[in-house]
Amino acid sequence: MIFFDTEVFAYDWLLVAFDGKKFTYIENDRKLLQQFYDKHKSDLWIGYNCKGYDQYIIKAILLGINPKIVNDYIIRSGKPGWSFTNKFRSIKLNIYDCMVFSKSLKQLESYMGVNIHETDVDFNLTRPLTKEERELNRAYCHDDVYNTALVFQNTKDSFEARFGLCQLAGEPLSSMEKTQAQLAAKILKAKKLTAKEWDQEFDFEYVQAVKDYSYKHKEVIDFFDSIRESKDASASLDIDLYGTEHTFALGGLHGAIPNYIWSGDNESKMVHADVGSMYPTIMIEWSLLSRAIPDPKLYIEIREQRLKYKKEGNSLQQPLKLVLNSTYGMSGAGKREQDNSYKTMSDVYDPRRMREVCINGQLMILQLIEDVCEACNCTLVQSNTDGVVFKVKNEDWDTFDKIVKAWEQRTRMTMEYDYTTALYQRDVNNYIAIFDNGKIERKGGAVKEPKIIDNDLPIVSDAVVEYFVNNVDPEEYISKESDMMRFMKTYKLSGKYNHAIHNNVTLTDKVYRVFASKDETDDILYKCKLDKKPEKFASCPDHCKIVNTNIQDMKVPNWLDRQWYIDEAWKRINSFKGCK
């Protein structure tokens, strides 16, 4: 494995590579780069956003093309690197891009607590770099390569899954550049449908189990029927189901009692009833697999093989699980242009099947809700696309269980129960659930569990959880913390903005690690467009300091305003309680 990054200027370029033991620096030396490439062209080259940028810089240099021209083609013109020249295809690189979602490397570096200061060397220089500037550029690029390796270590599960997909697909190492969807399509031996078949998106049908049921909330059926005519993919239906507001839409259903807090009683059971592998099961049991997969039996065999591998502890069970679970998403992975042409379709793309799976699944969940709520003394606490949370009176538990079993037989689904001892629910997207086995589930930005590459105000989200789960006052919890990393808030300057302003100083970094400050001479952080009024970053403390240096071992300084974090925790706690 070779971790790498490139930097390009008008008259200079740099490659920094790291093999896990030593760093290699190649600067303005095409011959040396050729030697390095020849030695390592069979290795796996790992970078951050290297798929869209760095690989084409390397290929340009090897081909004798000025990398600055390619840099500007990608960065300034916004064009894909592969389209610059067909000659790029002649240079083989085994690429793996460990980019996380749409986050920049600097954002992840901020979460990890390392130095995130941008290079002091101006990329717009129109002269060769000085010796000092070259040294600064080396140090800057070195840090990015090292931090890319850290990101890789913390996202290794994704790498192993991708590698497993390559193995299952019989693909060479060069296919690590492909997406999981592309590899899964290869494993499923998918063949693209025709444009005529793609246009059948709204010709969806109901399966027999849905047709045969007599719905009490017929307006839901009417809603989906109307979409056949309107072809409005953004349509939604808001409806009250047994005292709980729900929304049905083409992407799924959701509903929840807002500000619902329950800490257990002796009269009821709260059950999270989730459908096991709902979409794969619907696709198999009701013949709704994408029509681009020529042999549905292959999908069934993959599921059986995955269960066998899981039982054996074989690591290949994870990529097989990805194939099974991503098939639904791939069936909807396409983009219709304004002229009704299609673009960037998955080989599995079949929008009709995607609609049929999701709509029939929602109507099956509606059946369960109606059957249970009509027959049992219960509370419908929360619903989502593949599960429901009920609070059921003890005397009605046997009735509830019989209804679920009958529903399973009718729909050919399998329901899995998890029992909750406490639930703190702000809405369907933000809640804390404590299960009878002691597991705590945290969902939503208000209470999300901090991770090394998603570490935004961790002290606040943890304080909220501690308050509800262990009855710890936020002031007590936050006052005891001494680790500076726990108090960070990261802001990224999007491409819409030209610069930031803090304490009347213009700043050009793209990412800022911010902390609340007791010093009232410290200002808020602003983002600025050219010739426009400065805008505040959302939720930024009115008085803050920016610390873009390494804080991994930093202790909380005297200037940190702990009260700001305590107040933020109380705001979130009160939002769960439904009060200000």
Could you tell me if 350 and 203 are in contact, meaning their C-beta atoms sit under 8 angstroms apart?
no
Quick one: angle between helices 458-470 and 562-577, nearest 10? Answer: 50
pLDDT one-digit tens code per residue, 468-483: 999 999 999 999 999 9
**Rounded Cα gap, residues 288 and 350, in angstroms:** 10
Residue with tokens 């997406």: 179
Could you tell me if 289 and 296 are in contact, meaning their C-beta atoms sit under 8 angstroms apart?
yes
**Rounded Cα gap, residues 544 and 512, in angstroms:** 11
pTM for the whole thing? 0.89
**Rounded Cα gap, residues 423 and 63, in angstroms:** 61
Strands 387-393 and 260-262: unpaired
**Rounded Cα gap, residues 456 and 75, in angstroms:** 28
Residue 429 has pLDDT above 80, yes or no: yes
pLDDT score, position 340: 64
Runs of H (alpha helix) within 192-350: 195-198, 208-211, 218-230, 278-285, 296-312, 317-331
pLDDT one-digit tens code per residue, 208-263: 999 999 999 999 999 999 999 999 999 999 999 999 999 999 999 999 999 999 99
Closest by Cα among 93, 125, 89, 109 to 13 = 125
pLDDT score, position 309: 87
pLDDT one-digit tens code per residue, 130-148: 999 999 999 999 999 999 9
* Extended beta strands in 28-177, E state: 44-47, 94-97
pLDDT one-digit tens code per residue, 144-196: 999 999 999 999 888 888 888 898 888 888 889 888 888 888 999 999 999 89
Runs of H (alpha helix) within 114-217: 131-154, 156-169, 180-187, 195-198, 208-211
**Phi and psi at residue 228, to the nearest 5°:** -55, -35
Could you tell me if 179 and 161 are in contact, meaning their C-beta atoms sit under 8 angstroms apart?
no
pLDDT score, position 579: 77
Q: Which residues pair with 165 in a beta bridge?
A: none
pLDDT one-digit tens code per residue, 46-69: 999 999 999 999 999 999 999 999
Residue 79 has pLDDT above 70, yes or no: yes
pLDDT score, position 341: 66
pLDDT one-digit tens code per residue, 328-382: 999 988 776 666 666 667 899 999 999 999 999 999 999 999 999 999 999 999 9
Render the burial of 168-206: b for 16+ CB within 10 Å, e for the rest.
bbebeeebbbbbbbbbbbbbbebebbeeebbeebbebeb
Residue with tokens 């029509």: 291
Residue 304 has pLDDT above 80, yes or no: yes
Could you tell me if 437 and 393 are in contact, meaning their C-beta atoms sit under 8 angstroms apart?
no
